[in-house]
Chain A
Amino acid sequence: MLVREMMRSPVTTLSPEATLKEACALFQARDFRHLPVMEADRLVGVLTDRDLRWVTSSLCPGRLGLEDPVRGAMSHPPITIAPLDPVEDAARIMREHKIGCLPVMDGARLVGILTGMDILDTLIRLTGISLPSSRLEVALADRPGELARLTAFLAARNVNIHSILTYPDPDQAVRTVLRIGSSQARTLADELTRDGFRVLWPQPKPWPH
């Protein structure tokens, strides 16, 4: 998934000469936590609610007043991302710098903004339930063709796959979590086990039938 599919636009921005009072009013009124700061057409920084709270705090040595300009409070230089970068890059950059937003720059032009909340929305989209479905979890051997064998098995039974997520397992297998468009996951799990797959969920009944 690309940044341009997840970002928000158009973007509300601040001038570096705006006062902290004006910035605060905007944060409160629109429920913002981050605003890019633009000087003419150039991105010069990002003002966050954390910046605002710190520079106006009695604990801050160079404490600013409400009429002081945003320029003295903003974080800079801004850390940015491009619209065609993938979501995993955005997540990694935000995590590395421990920041909550990335202005999205197409060359020198600000085209959107991506926040931690947008990344969470994406996680929900990737893992969430969009259609009635069952969970099927299989530990696949880490070699070519195993996932294909699993999906071919489901295709042969006309079972639709709504989503599929894989991640490495401690014991060298590829843990594969599928959401499938059938309520009969246990029947499929039994057949998968017979076909030599290691099924993690659903498990067989704990007592003999």
Chain B
Amino acid sequence: MAALIHRAEYAQYDFGPEHPFTPARLDMLLDLLRELGVPLDLQAAPAATREDLLTVHDPAYVDVVEALSWGEPKPGADAFGLDTPDNPVFPGMDLAARWLVGGALQGARLLMGGAETRVLQLGGGLHHAQRSRAAGFCLYNDLAVAIRALVDHGWHVAYLDLDLHHGDGVQSIFYENDRVLTISLHESGHYLFPGTGHIHELGSGYARGLSVNVPLEPFTGPADYLEAFEAVVPQALANFAPQVLVVQAGADAHFDDPMGDLVLTTQAFETLHRRIIELADQYAKGRLLVTLGGGYEARVVARVWAILVLTLLDRPLPEALPEAWVARWLPLLGPHPPRFLQDPVPPHPPIPGEDLRHRHNQDNLARLLDSLSRFWL
């Protein structure tokens, strides 16, 4: 079983109708879970305070977010990544983001207090937010604030990022911290935002070897992805021996997602979700804190995250999607809506270049493991 954290105010994190990071993604998920008859005992968490934010963010940056949030004009906001196409300004954005940070922080507190061992925050996963910069739809780094609290509790924290994009904000905030291991699997920064996450980014100082990046070629599918995951993640966790595993479970590495070009399937996500539970049990004392993340295709995100929720709740996965749900969300699902929770087999036409892609991924993985072997016992 898992504790679920959510509150209606999460919907305030809304950059407007033209923006991909829409709260409808979460509404679709909750509606699907209800329609599937999943009992949802959602815990509402208090908003994070300014002091909570300052454990990972610069006061000058938080000042600017607050001012813009009240409607006070701030020339030069773009130097903080604000008032940009990715992070447009909207009234109340400071509080909207603090609700999400509060949820992740509440999840950390439940774990630290021993009340729960498995927590899922239904929202958040704002992994691009940096110490003093908004980026990639992320205003405050909810994951980093939660990780900081867990570290301050005296724990070693392992962070695993399954989003399509490199988890650059979390990595950079803990780049020199030897109590935090960050692992990110993502489409290669040579092609995709934010451009980082290369194998040579290994952490610095005492934390050298504690930033682990698995960049994958465009159009990498489940076989290569899962092979890389198994080659890196269990050994990294075994070596680091964390007291808790924090996971950003973005859904945008799915083949239908418009943002990038990894081609995972719902079946691959199910495998990953089951593995993170096993890995937390095996290497992190069973403690697991999961947030959502990226994921921008209405036909996909609710399905992938429903698999996540059902897996964490130890419930069986249904085959068909409820007709009432499909009918209700038809405007977003399009003229040929999905009818099943899982993807069809085969999921999509074959993509040329498989051999080259596989070889490149293998080479990269070998180089990464070679570098890491210097730090692993």
Contact = CB atoms under 8 A, between A and B. Distances in A.
B191 A202 contact: yes
B91 interface: no
Q: DSSP class of B's interface residues: helix, strand, loop or mixed? A: loop
Contacts of B256: 209
A183 B136 contact: yes
Interface stretch (B2-10, B192-200, B284-292): B192-200
Contacts of B259: 183-184, 186
B85 A135 contact: no
A52 to B, nearest CB: 31
Contacts of A179: 195
A132 B258 contact: no
Instruction: Determine the interface band of chain A, counting residues with CB < 8 A from chain B.
Output: 20 to 34
A205 B135 contact: no
A132 B128 contact: yes
B98 interface: no
A120 to B, nearest CB: 14
Contacts of A182: 84-86, 193
Contact of A183 (B78, B193, B261, B351): B193
Interface in A154-209: 157-160, 179, 181-187, 201-202, 205-207, 209
A133 interface: yes
Contacts of B20: 184
Contacts of B133: 131-132
A133 B191 contact: no
Interface string A132-168: 1111000000000000000000000111100000000
A179 B168 CA distance: 16
B315 interface: no
A206 B85 CA distance: 26
A183 B191 contact: no
A25 interface: no
A3 to B, nearest CB: 28
A129 B84 contact: no
Contacts of A185: 192-193
Contacts, number: 74
B84 A135 contact: no
A160 B78 contact: yes
Nearest to B134: A132
A205 to B, nearest CB: 7
A135 B195 contact: yes
B189 interface: yes
B349 A206 contact: yes
B179 interface: no
B193 A134 contact: yes
A129 B194 CA distance: 9
Interface string B50-88: 000000000000000000000000000010010011100
Contacts of A187: 258
A134 B135 contact: no
A158 B77 CA distance: 13
A186 B85 contact: no
B303 interface: no
A158 B84 contact: yes
A160 B86 CA distance: 11
B99 interface: no
A132 B84 contact: no
A129 B196 contact: yes
B194 A132 contact: yes
A205 B258 CA distance: 8
Nearest to B88: A158
A68 B133 CA distance: 58
A129 B349 contact: no
Given A133-B195, A183-B193, A202-B191, A207 B84 contact: no
Contacts of B349: 206-207
Nearest to B219: A206
Nearest to B169: A132
Contact of A132 (B78, B168, B191, B219): B168
B229 interface: no
B136 A135 contact: no
Contacts of B190: 135
A135 to B, nearest CB: 6
Nearest to B136: A183
Contacts of B219: 206
The 5 A-B pairs of least Cβ separation, nearest first, read A132-B194, A129-B195, A183-B193, A132-B135, A134-B193
9 contacts: A132-B81, A132-B136, A134-B193, A157-B85, A160-B84, A183-B135, A185-B192, A202-B191, A206-B348
Interface of B: 20, 78, 81, 84-86, 128, 130, 133, 135-137, 165, 168, 189-196, 219, 256, 258-261, 348-349, 351
Given A132-B130, A160-B84, 19 more contacts: A132-B81, A132-B135, A132-B195, A132-B196, A133-B193, A135-B191, A135-B192, A158-B84, A159-B84, A160-B78, A182-B84, A183-B137, A183-B194, A184-B20, A184-B86, A186-B259, A201-B191, A207-B349, A209-B256
Interface of A: 129, 131-135, 157-160, 179, 181-187, 201-202, 205-207, 209
